[in-house]
Chains A and B, each alone.
Chain A
Amino acid sequence: MPASLVLEQSLNGLQFGLMLFLLAAGLTLVFGIMDMINLAHGSLYMIGAYFMASFAQATGSFWLGLPLALIATGIVGALLEMSLLRRLYGRDHLTQVLATFAIILIANEVVRIAWGSQPVLLNTPAELSGPVTLPGGMQYASYRLAIIAVGAVVALLLYLLVTKTKVGMLVRAGASNREMAIAMGVNIRRLFTVVFALGAALCALAGAMLGPILAVQVGMGENILILAFVVIVIGGIGSIRGAFVGALLVGIVDTSGRAFLPLFFSLFLPPQFASAAGPAVASILIYLLMAVVLYFRPQGLFPARG
């Protein structure tokens, strides 16, 4: 196998991992700090992508549309938290799952009414629409490099926010021991609203950045949400660092599974079995990874609590 192909597939794995990280970061914050299972996280991702499509169309520029979509989705998130989710914190997880599942269905139909039932247009900005030649002569989609850059910058900013700022300190306090944080006088209500709005804005960033290479359509959030849950369970619920490592692990394992497993099987299996076994095993690989991680570390790789 040529070295350039191995390099390209590694880059693909990194890119897919950072793509997942954008979504998982918000999910793990909400899940870890508020102890709230929010299935509607994927809906915020969808709404972010739709806002992005509309704002990019209205302003005629991808880069003008991006901050508008982030702000708009953050506001939607804050309103959702204040009106509805706030009432669910004290309830058990099953109630939260039911209620946020209802939000998924409602959000899908609202988006359908507002934007129509067919997928909408959201394209890469013209300057990033083609491939670039990397050192070594390899061609790679320039937009995917942009995703890698944005993912890395967001990871760094979140790290600084959580470890170096006062808000970050409160977030960590809330994640590791909520009762104690309340006892120490933290305004937990406001903190939760802020965290949720931040999570929603991260969703919008994921939706806006991924929209140009994925279909922007009703129900787009459900598909990717499952992967995001796998990521945060592997990484340890509530931990940004865990989400980062988990996302990269899932991205690289999934991509290399799809890329190299069929080749691997064809070494010792007849072709018709290899072509069937390759995709079958590749599609369950990340769940195997999750099972193995949970077997050895039931709290995930970087547990936020105790």
Chain B
Amino acid sequence: MKGKLATLVAATAVAFSASFAAHAANELKIGFISTLSGPAGGIGIEIRDGFNLAVKLSGGKLGNLPTEVIFADDTLNPDTGRQLAERLLKRDRANLMTGVVFSNVMLAVWPTIEQAKVFYIAPNATPTSITGKGCSPYFFSASWPNEAHHEAAGEFANSKGYKNAYLIAPNYPAGKDALTGFKRMYKGNVVAEVYSKLNQLDYSAELAQIRAAHPDSLYAFLPGGMGINFIKQFVGAGLSKDIQLILPGFVSDQDVVRAVGDPMLGLFDTSHWAYDLDNDANRKFVAEFEKEYKRIPSLFAEQGYTAALIIDQAVRDAKGKVEDEKAFHAALMKAPERAKTPRGSFKEAANGTPIQDYYVRALVKDREGRIVNKKIGTILRDHKDFWAKDCGMK
């Protein structure tokens, strides 16, 4: 009996020391949970490709540490995401987490990551409930707060002098948030605010109503396939001649452009990044991405790439001590100012969201005849997350 107990204690001790050793080891293990299959898988793959490119360009190391990225596919299922987070944190002992595309998956995996006291670097979803009242030092966004593109679009409509905007979004929480963000900035008259079915195929009924309402502009937040359906049908109905369609940049970037083609021309969108931003880091990113993957990067690829650069900078500045929470958090908060990201240098607000510029982009053909999202102006400067005011952290 005694012998057994001793063995057990010894085994436990070994197990503990093993786990301790894993944290102190000179190696970075990054758990990357993303949506890599199914209809929305294209977005996760863009983010992954951007992230992988940054790791490859720095010789397979981030922050001077040999880096292993463990990819896991959440298939856009929040439950699957939560199980993967458990597996990556407990079995694989990841010392950093990243990757999630969708806010609903993010909200499901977040409690697991926060309880494990592991830092999460967001390459996309930055939901308001994690950046406002529920903010946390372990959450760091390398992308943009969920409402920012919509706010920029509202401000852009002001700058163009649009007086009668028509708004459409799918009938689900992110759709309502999107239009709230737009209306926070937009000063003109909202002709109508329409919530269509989620995953709707045919928009002819909505388009007939839009035609009858005679707005001067139309703001449409319809992510993924819904946006492709809508844009094709909007242009086919001949509405683009009289009504200016404005989109948030993350539903009208290269992944959508490649599927819609010429009907995209003449639309405007808003984004925190553009492929033609004038700085060396961006030129390098775009050139290397095109060389590696034979396509123009979308903003999702930029977000994955920038997330990896920020990890690289923070780990380097913290001298590899990812497990020293205070030191790593301090390094992380300074990293966007020091890292050479394609967006240039930017500050991070105390709630872990970027304070950055937002641009308006026009969809035009470049010299080689490719349809690109070309930057035509800056619409918001050093814009901060609206919900940062609710966060208690300083």
Contact = CB atoms under 8 A, between A and B. Distances in A.
Given A144-B204, A279-B196, A220 B225 contact: yes
Interface string A6-19: 00110010011001
Given A119-B256, A144-B236, A217-B259, A223 B199 contact: yes
A54 B212 CA distance: 37
B236 A131 contact: yes
B346 interface: no
Interface in B209-237: 209, 211-212, 224-226, 228-229, 232-233, 235-237
A16 B204 contact: yes
A258 B37 contact: no
B193 interface: yes
Contacts, number: 130
Interface in A46-100: none
A203 B261 CA distance: 24
Interface residues of A, number: 50
Interface in A113-139: 117-121, 123-124, 129-131, 139
A112 B232 contact: no
Contacts of B193: 275
Nearest to B212: A5
Secondary structure call for the B interface: helix
B258 A258 contact: no
A19 B208 CA distance: 18
Secondary structure call for the A interface: helix
A259 B208 contact: yes
Contact of A215 (B37, B38, B206, B259): B259
Contact of A139 (B171, B209, B237): B237
A160 interface: no
A301 interface: no
A120 B205 CA distance: 25
Given A123-B263, A255-B205, A279-B171, A117 B41 contact: yes
Contact of B228 (A16, A108, A144, A215): A215
A15 B237 CA distance: 13
B262 interface: yes
Given A143-B236, A223-B201, A218 B38 contact: yes
